[in-house]
Structure formats: C-alpha cells, structure tokens
Structure 1
Amino acid sequence: MWKTIKRIIFIVLILNVLFIVWGRFFNPPITITQIGGFFEYGKLHRDYISYDEMGNNVKKAVIASEDQKFFVHDGFDYKAIEKAMKNNEKGKKLRGGSTISQQTAKNVFLWQGRSWIRKGLEAVYTFIIEKTWSKDIILERYLNSIEMGQGVFGIEAAAQYYFGKPSKDLTISEAAWIAAVLPNPKKYDPKNPSAYLRKKHNWIMRQMRNVSLK
C-alpha cells in the first residue's frame, strides 16, 4: 500500500516538473479556468499569441492595473500581502495581494477559489516559475490565459471581442478599458461601463505613464 502511494506521489511530481518545463516554451493547451468558462457560458474565445505580438499598450495597462512592481519583485509583493492579511483579519476574507506571477501560477496550473490549500500551492508554483521562467515568459503566459470576460480568455481574444482589432493595435484608452475589468471580468464590461469602471479606466491611463517594460 505504502509503495503504491509513494509511486503515485512520484508520478505526480514528475508530471508537474514536465508541465512546468513545458510551460517554459509553450502556452498551456487548456486550463481548469478555461474549461469552467466553457461549461458556464458555452463558449471559449481564446487566441494565443507571442509576447512580441501583444503590443506595449496592453502590457503597460495590465501591469499598471494589477502589479506595478512586476519587473522588480521575486514573485511576491510582501507589502501588498501584509495589507491583504490585515484586511482579512478585519473582514475574515482572503483578499488581494496577488502579483501577476501568482495569478499566472493560479491560472496555468491551478483553479479559482479562495482556499488556503490553493493559495499554498499557488505560492509553490509562483516560486518555481520565478526561478525557471523569465519575466517576459510569465507575462506572456498571464496575458494569454487570463479571463477577460464571459468565456473570453487572453488579451488577443479580448481585443477582438471588445474592439474588433488585434491587441497590438489597441490605443492607450482601449488597452486601459481591457485592463479595467480585472480582477472581476465576469462583472465588469467595457462596452457598458459603470461609474466605478470609468474611474478605474482613467486611473489606469494615468498610471501607464509610470510603467516601464523592463
């Protein structure tokens, strides 16, 4: 019995290592979140593109919105985590503090949710991809896999869905609209923005001036 358990653990570890190595060179064939989106909305709009094909505006917009320290941290924003923990103590909810690297680990390897088990696994995968992938690869995987609407995944599909153009041709304003739906793309819609979304859109455009892609 114990030999069988050890064999299963070994196989799982090997498969994880192979998947991480695979992810260094290729986008994921499909993710758990994408499968969930397909069953929930009956569609899966997704179009993987390379880092160079994405254009700078959408990269800057998402970094401005989600993780302005992306290129300087080691995968974790400890000040943001500390702030999130204080909020959790007050509201007793797991909220915020996730970097783009952490979100990439979650989107590519794991599932959505707020359990401590998932957060623990997310931390492990984040540490590993920060050591084995480059920042450009992490950002590419993130921008290709992130949920951007109901059944819409990745910035290329989002650019086509919301504005009918490739992501590399998005204006600063259009890129900021796409980034503004994060982290709740099922709730917010750039085609019908709320007052809050308009405010966030304007804030992102201002923050984009301070974002460098290195």
Structure 2
Amino acid sequence: MERVKHFIKRLVLIWVFFSVLLVLLFRWLPLPTTSFMLQQRLSVHSPCSTVRYQWVPWSQTSKHLAIAVIAAEDQKFATHWGLDFAALQSALQTRLKTGKIRGGSTISQQVAKNVFLWPAKNMFRKSLEVYFTMLIELLWPKKRILEVYLNIAQFGECTYGVEQAAQQYYRIKASELNGWQAARLAAVLPNPVIYRADRPSNYVVKRSNWIRRQVKQLGGLGYLSKFVGYED
C-alpha cells in the first residue's frame, strides 16, 4: 500500500508539473491548435476535412470584437477570478427545473475547456476545467486570456478565430471589424454551426442588437481599460 501511495503521489506531482508548464508556455506562445480543433479533424463524424484557423496577435485584433464577446459571454470578465458562481448557480437551477443545459461558463473556462480538454459533460471533466481555469487566471493576465479566446472561439462550421471569421464573412482583416460586424460575430457564439453572421436569422439580428446595447452599458471600448489599454 505504501508503494501504491507513493506511486500515486508521484503521478499527481508529475501531472501538476507538466500542466503548469504547459499553461505557462502558452502565456507567450501562439497556439498552433487546440484540443477541440484536433478532435474535429480526427473525428470520423466531423464534416470538416480541414479546420480554418489562423492565429493573430492582440495588436491585429478588433477591440470592438473584444468588448462584444465580453458583453455577450461574460460581463464580469474584468473582475472575477475565472468562475462566475452566480451564473453557475443560475445554470444549475435552470437544469434542475427544466432539464435544459444552459451555459454558465466564463471566458476563462471556455479557454480552459477548448484548449486543454474535451467536450464531455461529467464531473471529472468539469473538475479538470476548474483546475485549468484557475491555472490560467493565476498565470495569464486578462489581456492574454481574451487574446487566446478571440483566436480559438468557433465562429462557424470548421471556422475558428477572429481572423478566419473576418475574412470568411466580411472579406476583411480581423483588425478592421467594426462594432456592428463584431456584434454579429459575437451573436453566433452560442451555436456557430447553426447561426450565421453573414446570413443572420431573426435570432442573430435580435441578439446582435442586444449585444450592442450591452456594450454601450458597459462603457464601450473604455471598459477594456479596466484590465488592458485598448489602444495597444
């Protein structure tokens, strides 16, 4: 039993060491891919023979999209430590009352899940998501978390990241997206396979308008100055 305990302890320490090292490396290195992209490439049921993805740095990313995704997905992004407990509690109550699964994940959680994990809904995977979320919040600044999210978020079937989305839907660079275009892209995030930014449904149009109002209430681009100078 002592040998078993010692072996398990060593495994845990090795796991912690390499997970911390991996998260720390990606604080500075561009991500060549993510676990979700790899799964889509390798799955026999995937409609994507190739995945459209191109990394762009923060300086080449529209800040209109940065504030739009915060308004749409995580309005407490600047102040929380990776987990929004009020949103998680609301999502849990919705599931208990209606049986429906409603998102309660922060941007940091979505980064942790998409970069390092897999799309399962069980307590083990959720525990790992919390673990990687806390590592990301501890080792990355908010600016880096948002930069990674904008690069890995899925904006359409087989389309990941702001650069590919901007080129595919608007024939422009990521840095050239205006407020309305950014709101349309943020509006499709709940289900980018069904919703289209270039051919918006009534839902996408309504959600885009709501996002624009939320951006204004947050303070527009000035909101970003809480954690990064948006002029950068």
Bigger Cα Rg: 2
User: Aligned equivalents of 1:125 and 1:60: distance in 2?
Assistant: 24
User: Aligned equivalents of 2:91 and 2:184: distance in 1?
Assistant: 25
User: Aligned equivalents of 2:109 and 2:190: distance in 1?
Assistant: 13
Root mean square deviation of aligned Cα: 1.7
Q: 1:86-123 deviations in whole A, cap 9, x for unaligned? A: 11211335431111111111111111232222211111
Q: 2:121 aligns with which of 89, 114, 139?
A: 114
Q: 1:160-203 deviations in whole A, cap 9, x for unaligned? A: 11111111101111111111111211111112221111110111
**What is the 5 A alignment of 1:167-186?**
167-186=174-193
Aligned residue in 1 for 2:216: 209
- The 8 Å contact of residues 71 and 135 in structure 1, kept in 2 or not, is answered as yes
| Partner SS for 2:112 | helix
Aligned residue in 2 for 1:140: 147
> Given the two structures, how large is their TM-score scaled by the length of structure 1?
0.92
| Partner SS for 1:209 | helix
User: Aligned equivalents of 2:189 and 2:120: distance in 1?
Assistant: 16
Kindly state the Cα deviation for residue 75 of structure 1 after the two structures are TM-superposed. Answer: 1.1
| Partner SS for 2:67 | helix
Instruction: Compare 85-94 and 133-142 and name the one that shifted more.
Output: 85-94
User: Aligned equivalents of 1:130 and 1:94: distance in 2?
Assistant: 25
Q: 1:73-94 deviations in whole A, cap 9, x for unaligned? A: 1111121111111112113354
User: Aligned equivalents of 1:190 and 1:144: distance in 2?
Assistant: 17
Aligned residue in 2 for 1:29: 32
User: Aligned equivalents of 1:60 and 1:160: distance in 2?
Assistant: 20
> Given the two structures, how large is their TM-score scaled by the length of structure 2?
0.86
- The 8 Å contact of residues 170 and 198 in structure 2, kept in 1 or not, is answered as no
| Amino acid in structure 2 at the alignment position of 1:129 | I
List gaps (5 residues or longer) in structure 2.
Answer: 227-232
Q: 1:4-54 deviations in whole A, cap 9, x for unaligned? A: 655544433332121111111113222111112334211111111111211
* Number of residues of Structure 1 aligned to a counterpart in Structure 2: 214
Aligned-pair identity (%):
40
**What is the 5 A alignment of 1:53-202?**
53-202=60-209
| Partner SS for 1:148 | strand
